[in-house]
């Protein structure tokens, strides 16, 4: 969906009023995010310009930024008319949440192994280019299926898959993807394809017998003490879009990062298998040239030198720094959502926040 800058501000904040969604229920207990005794307000230089949080917030069209250190709030600011209770479109950071649900389904015994063939859980893909692709290859964007991820042009695979009809009871994106050819042998080449994350979501739906919203509510939203209910956009078949469309408040966005930082545990309960989590957040694929500063890719998580991140269109991000116990959550509405310079400026912003968080504490 291609919005003007003004439409972005309304659309990102109110997407649940535009698209069909399913509710992600929260529980009665809220996990507190206490204010730290010392707040941060870093200064840095970007392309010769002196920067601070407010200057970047205006230039980068930031609707919200929240920094946690040891689970305490070091910085929380809002902009673009957004308030603390407003949800925001998480875009492709949703992929990383879908990955969390795959890990939970493995821990719960619904999915046997990352080596399982995708067709075991999505039989409609039997005989397609996904025949012989395993769950790990799907989640590292190495499925080898030919797809251009173009959501701008009307004839792009991305545009056509998003608009695919619901026919004969087959999920529309499953129906579209099973008609595509193979470009590479599975596991040999990284090629970013949003529908691979949607298929991972379908895999969880079929394995658990639950909607993604219900499973997310049961395993993460309620146990982690999310403050507000969320929404998840659904396709024409009523299935949540595993690649995008998670609509949440900024504090709950940050709580997702805190859950990962704490080892995929809630109290004494292990929600994600520890060895799986280690693999998910380390480079299963390494990049010759960085993507938004990332050096590799895990299971729908982007890998940095000392962090891993969920990244989304238009400047959505959750950065997790395990050694420093820092989580940085950012929502934005970039004027040019795919602009590499905007991405580089955001990385500099996040690095300045991280450095200040570590220096102050």
> At 356, which CATH number?
3.40.710.10
Place of tokens 């919005």: 3
Average pLDDT over residues 253-278: 97
Q: What are the backbone dihedrals phi and psi of residue 100, each rounded to the nearest 5 degrees, phi first?
A: -55, -40
What is the rounded average pLDDT of the residues 210-234? 98
Reported as a single tens digit per residue, the pLDDT across 307-359 is: 999 999 999 999 999 999 999 999 999 998 888 999 999 999 999 999 999 99
Distance CA 165, CA 11 (A): 23
Contact 162, 171 (CB under 8 A): no
* pLDDT for the residue 361: 60
Q: Write the CA distances from 72 to 37, 76, 115, 347, 352, integer angstroms.
A: 9, 11, 38, 22, 18
Neighbours of 125 (CB within 10 A): 24
Asked whether 75 and 39 are in contact (CB, 8 A), the reply is: yes
Say what the pLDDT of residue 179 is. Answer: 97
- What does each C-alpha distance from 21 to 178, 212, 232 come to in angstroms? 25, 11, 5
pLDDT band per the 50, 70, 90 thresholds, residue 289: confident
* Cβ(303)–Cβ(294) below 8 Å: yes
Q: What DSSP assignment string belongs to 77-111?
A: EE-TT--TT-EEE-TTHHHHHHHHHHHHHHHTTSS
Structure tokens, 217: 């509510």
Comparing C-alpha atoms, which of 5, 6, 18 is closest to residue 233? 18
pLDDT band at 1 (very low <50, low <70, confident <90, very high): low
Q: What is the pLDDT of residue 339?
A: 86
Of 206, 190, 230, which Cα lies nearest the Cα of 102?
206
d(CA 234, CA 232): 6
Percent of all residues in the chain with a pLDDT value above 90, rounded to a whole number: 92
CA separation (Å) from 64 to 61, 274, 284, 337? 9, 31, 31, 16
Residue 67 three-state SS: strand
What is the value of pTM for the model shown? Answer: 0.97
Q: Give residue for tokens 């102050």.
A: 360
**Per-residue pLDDT band at 133 (split at 50, 70, 90):** very high
Q: What domain range includes position 238?
A: 5-360
Mean pLDDT of 103-116: 98
Q: In the chain, how many domains are there?
A: 1
* Average pLDDT value over all residues in the chain: 96
Q: How far lies 133's CA from each of 174, 185, 196, 203, in Å?
A: 14, 9, 11, 13
Alpha-carbon gap, residue 176 to 160, rounded angstroms:
8
């Amino acid at each position: 969906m291609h919005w003007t800058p003004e439409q972005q501000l309304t659309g990102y904040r109110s997407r649940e009023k535009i698209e069909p969604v399913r509710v992600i229920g929260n529980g009665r207990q809220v996990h507190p995010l206490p204010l730290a005794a010392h707040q941060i307000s870093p200064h840095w230089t970007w392309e010769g310009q002196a920067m601070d949080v407010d200057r970047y917030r205006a230039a980068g069209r930031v609707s919200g930024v929240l920094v946690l250190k040891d689970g305490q709030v070091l910085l929380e600011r809002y902009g673009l008319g957004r308030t603390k209770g407003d949800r925001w479109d998480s875009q492709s950071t949703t992929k990383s949440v879908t990955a969390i649900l795959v890990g939970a389904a493995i821990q719960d015994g619904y999915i046997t192994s990352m080596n399982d063939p995708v067709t075991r859980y999505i039989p409609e893909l039997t005989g397609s280019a996904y025949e012989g692709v395993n769950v790990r290859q799907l989640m590292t964007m190495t499925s080898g299926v030919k797809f251009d991820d173009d959501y701008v042009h009307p004839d792009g695979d991305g545009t056509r898959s998003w608009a695919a009809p619901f026919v004969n009871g087959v999920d529309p994106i499953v129906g579209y993807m099973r008609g595509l050819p193979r470009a590479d042998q599975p596991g040999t080449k990284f090629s970013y394809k949003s529908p691979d994350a949607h298929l991972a979501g379908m895999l969880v739906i079929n394995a658990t017998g639950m909607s993604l919203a219900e499973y997310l509510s049961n395993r993460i939203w309620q146990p982690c003490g999310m403050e507000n209910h969320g929404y998840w956009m659904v396709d024409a078949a009523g299935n949540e879009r595993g690649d995008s469309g998670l609509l949440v408040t900024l504090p709950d966005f940050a709580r997702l990062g805190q859950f990962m930082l704490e080892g995929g545990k809630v109290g004494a309960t292990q929600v994600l298998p520890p060895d799986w989590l280690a693999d998910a957040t380390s480079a299963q694929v390494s990049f010759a040239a960085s993507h938004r500063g990332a050096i590799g890719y895990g299971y729908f998580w982007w890998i940095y030198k000392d962090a891993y991140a969920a990244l989304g269109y238009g400047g959505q991000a959750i950065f997790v720094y395990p050694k420093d116990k820092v989580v940085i959550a950012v929502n934005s509405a970039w004027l040019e959502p795919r602009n590499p310079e905007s991405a580089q400026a955001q990385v500099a912003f996040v690095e300045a926040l991280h450095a200040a968080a570590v220096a102050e504490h």
